[in-house]
Amino acid sequence: MKATTHTEVYRRFDGELRQRPLRSVTLAWSGIRIGFKKKLPMLLLFIIPGIFTIVTGFMVQLKFEAESGALTNMAGMEPSAQTLAMGALLSSQLGQVESLIFQLLTNMQFFVVLIMGWYGSGLIAEDRKLRANLLYFARPVSRLTYITGKLLTVMFWGSAAVVAPVTIVCSVASLSSPEWSFLTERWDTILKLELYALLWVLFHGVLVLAISSLTDRRNRALGGVFILYFLTLAGSNAMAELMSGQGWRLLSIPNNFQRVFDSLFGQSSPGIGWNLEASLWVLGLLTLGSAAILSRQTRKLEVGA
């Protein structure tokens, strides 16, 4: 830098501005890049989900491999009996693999909250603290674009923690199963697993961003996420025990998701006996409330308040 004057030429821009660029994707990509630069937290946060995924993948493969010997033993049986036995064995294998994937999903839930809380809690709080919102909203960026960009960022990390492992394990199961039977026989389960994982990520993304928009300190937002999540879980379970009323468990986010999970996959969890509609109402209201907070707070950011 020269103190007296600058020497560089100002060059004019001779290109054209695109009419409808994917601004929310650009915004999301910036946020994701920042996340990738912090390698140690990334390693610490993803190491356990990574191990879970690899172990489950191996177990799924072993399940099919180990029982391939049983199929060989059926070679000497009557054709009709052989078909029946093979069908029963395959059905049992697929059921066991499904259970392994359900188990993986359940185990991942805590890490998803942790990872989304970690990466999402600073997304709006840091913008507010540094007033980076002024740079965004001085450009042709609407509130919806801003919120979508931030949501995509946090959903990327959430998806990396839950959607990606489910996809990987389902792929392993499809590839290891005889004649792609896991894919052909259980495609509806795979679809529902992915949808459930995405729903989980979307809900938590909105929730984390709403909390992040309420403060200008990342740590406070992170604390808020965990307090809301774990305090309602512990509190609702405690109240349900004390008051002997299962309805109290509706106050907890994971209990409601468990209810949705049970309904989707035909499972039954102890202590969760209420209607699916009740859980959908609770989750819907929480999402609407979070979206309203997000919209209001983003409006404040837009006007520089």
Partner 1 sequence: MTPNVPDPPPGHASDSAPPQAQEPIVRLQGLRKSFGSVHALRGLDMELPPGPVGLLGPNGAGKTTLIGLLLGLVEPTEGMAMVAGLQPTNRAARIEIRKRVGYMPESDCLLPGMTAVEIVSALARLTGLNRQDAITRAHEVLDYVELDEARYRALDGYSTGMKQRLKLAQALVHDPEFLLLDEPTNGLDPAGRRHMLSLVKDLGRNQKKNVLLCSHLLPDVEQTCDTVVVLVKGQAILQGSIAELTAAESRRLRVEVEDGASRLQTALEAAAYTTSLTEDGAVMVTLPQGVEDADALCGLAAAEGVNISSVDSVRSTLEEVFLKAVDESEQKAEAPIA
Q: Which of 2, 75, 76, 79 lies at the binding interface for partner 1 (CB under 8 A)?
A: 2
Q: Which of 81, 130, 191, 238 lies at the binding interface for partner 1 (CB under 8 A)?
A: 130
Cα 19 versus chain centre, distance: 32
Number of other residues whose CB lies within 10 A of the CB of residue 64: 21
296 binds partner 1 (CB under 8 A): no
Distance CA(185)–CA(45), nearest Å, equals 34
Give the residue among 116, 103, 107 at the shortest CA–CA distance from 228.
Answer: 116
Smallest distance from partner 1 to CB 140, Å: 4
Site string for partner 1, 20-59 (x = CB under 8 A): -x-x--xx-xx--xx--xx---------------------
Look up residue 132 and give its two tokens.
Answer: 């980076």
Count residues near partner 1 (CB under 8 A).
46
- Only segment of 46-54, 124-132, 175-183, 262-270 that touches partner 1 (CB under 8 A): 124-132
Smallest distance from partner 1 to CB 225, Å: 21
Look up residue 202 and give its two tokens.
Answer: 């979307």
- Give the footprint of partner 1 on residues 137-196 (CB under 8 A): 137-142
**22 φ, ψ to 5°?**
-80, 80
Q: Which of 41, 65, 81, 131 lies at the binding interface for partner 1 (CB under 8 A)?
A: 131
Where on the chain is the footprint of partner 1 (CB under 8 A)?
1-19, 21, 23, 26-27, 29-30, 33-34, 37-38, 126-127, 130-132, 134-142, 302-304
